[in-house]
Amino acid sequence: MKLVKTDKRRFSLKSTRTTTLVLATSALVLAACGTTSSTSSTSSGSTSQPSGSATSGNITWWASPIGQVGIRANLISHFEKAYPKIHVTLESAPTNTDTNRSQLVTEISGGSTSPDVFMGDVIWPAQFGAHGLAVPLSKYLPSSYFAKFAPGLVAGATYKNQVYGSPLFEDQGFLYYRKDLLAKANLPVPKTWQQLESESLTLEKDNLVKYGFVWEGDSYEGLTCDFMEYLTSAGGKVVNSSYTQAQLNSPAAFKALTFMRSLITSGASPQAVTTFQEPQAMAVFDAGNAAFLRNWDYAWSNSQNPADSKVVGDVGVAPLPTFAGQSYPGYSNIGGWNLYINPHSKNVAADLTFIKWMSSTEAQTILGKTYSEIPTVESVRQTLAASSSTPPPLRVAAQTRLVPRPAGTPNYPQLSTAIYTNVNGALSGSMSVSAALKAAQSQAQTALSGGL
Count the site residues for ligand GLC by CB under 6 A.
16
Cα dihedral sign for 16, 18, 23, 26? Answer: negative
Q: Does 103 bind ligand GLC (CB under 6 A)?
A: no
Closest CB 189 distance from ligand GLC, rounded Å: 24
Angle at 337 (CA atoms; ends 27, 310), nearest 5 degrees: 105
Q: Does 373 bind ligand GLC (CB under 6 A)?
A: no
Q: Does 197 bind ligand GLC (CB under 6 A)?
A: no
Element (H, E) at 91: strand 86-92
Half-sphere exposure of 308 (CA within 13 A, CB side): 21
Closest CB 266 distance from ligand GLC, rounded Å: 25
Among 7, 15, 18, 52, binds ligand GLC (CB under 6 A): 18
Q: Strand, helix or coil at 178?
A: strand
Q: Does 221 bind ligand GLC (CB under 6 A)?
A: yes
Closest CB 184 distance from ligand GLC, rounded Å: 32
Q: Does 368 bind ligand GLC (CB under 6 A)?
A: no
Cα dihedral sign for 427, 428, 434, 437? Answer: negative
Closest CB 273 distance from ligand GLC, rounded Å: 14
- Applying CB under 6 A, the span of 34-42, 52-60, 118-126, 188-196 interacting with ligand GLC comes to 118-126
Q: Does 14 bind ligand GLC (CB under 6 A)?
A: no
- Applying CB under 6 A, the span of 11-19, 129-137, 153-161, 236-244 interacting with ligand GLC comes to 11-19
What character string, x for contact with ligand GLC (CB under 6 A) and - otherwise, covers 382-411?
A: ------------------------------
- Applying CB under 6 A, the span of 116-124, 299-307, 310-318, 323-331 interacting with ligand GLC comes to 116-124
Closest to ligand GLC by CB, 239 or 407: 407
What character string, x for contact with ligand GLC (CB under 6 A) and - otherwise, covers 139-178?
A: --------------------------------x-------
Q: Does 97 bind ligand GLC (CB under 6 A)?
A: yes
Q: Does 413 bind ligand GLC (CB under 6 A)?
A: no
d(CA 281, CA 158): 32
Q: Does 121 bind ligand GLC (CB under 6 A)?
A: yes
d(CA 242, CA 193): 30
Closest CB 436 distance from ligand GLC, rounded Å: 20
Closest CB 198 distance from ligand GLC, rounded Å: 28
Closest to ligand GLC by CB, 150 or 181: 150
What character string, x for contact with ligand GLC (CB under 6 A) and - otherwise, covers 322-361?
A: -------------xxx------------------------
Among 33, 86, 108, 122, binds ligand GLC (CB under 6 A): 122
Closest to ligand GLC by CB, 222 or 410: 222
Length of the chain: 452
d(CA 339, CA 351): 10
Q: Does 296 bind ligand GLC (CB under 6 A)?
A: yes
Cβ 157 vs Cβ 170: under 8 Å? no
**Of 63, 56, 48, nearest in space to 115 by CA:** 63
- Applying CB under 6 A, the span of 111-119, 218-226, 230-238, 264-272 interacting with ligand GLC comes to 218-226
Assign 3-state DSSP to the chain and report helix, strand, coil percentages, each to 5.
45, 15, 40
Distances (CA, A) of 448 to 36, 250, 289, 403, 416: 19, 17, 41, 20, 11
Among 88, 104, 135, 225, binds ligand GLC (CB under 6 A): 225
Q: Does 301 bind ligand GLC (CB under 6 A)?
A: no
CB burial of 51-75 (b: ≥16 within 10 Å; e: otherwise) equals ebebeebebbbbbbbbbbeebbebb
d(CA 57, CA 73): 18
**Of 141, 149, 166, nearest in space to 42 by CA:** 141
d(CA 265, CA 359): 45
d(CA 326, CA 206): 29
Cα-to-chain-centroid distance, residue 396 = 17
Q: Does 19 bind ligand GLC (CB under 6 A)?
A: yes
Query: Residue 277 is which amino acid?
Result: Q
Q: Which residues bind ligand GLC (CB under 6 A)?
A: 17-19, 97, 121-123, 171, 221-222, 225, 278, 296, 335-337
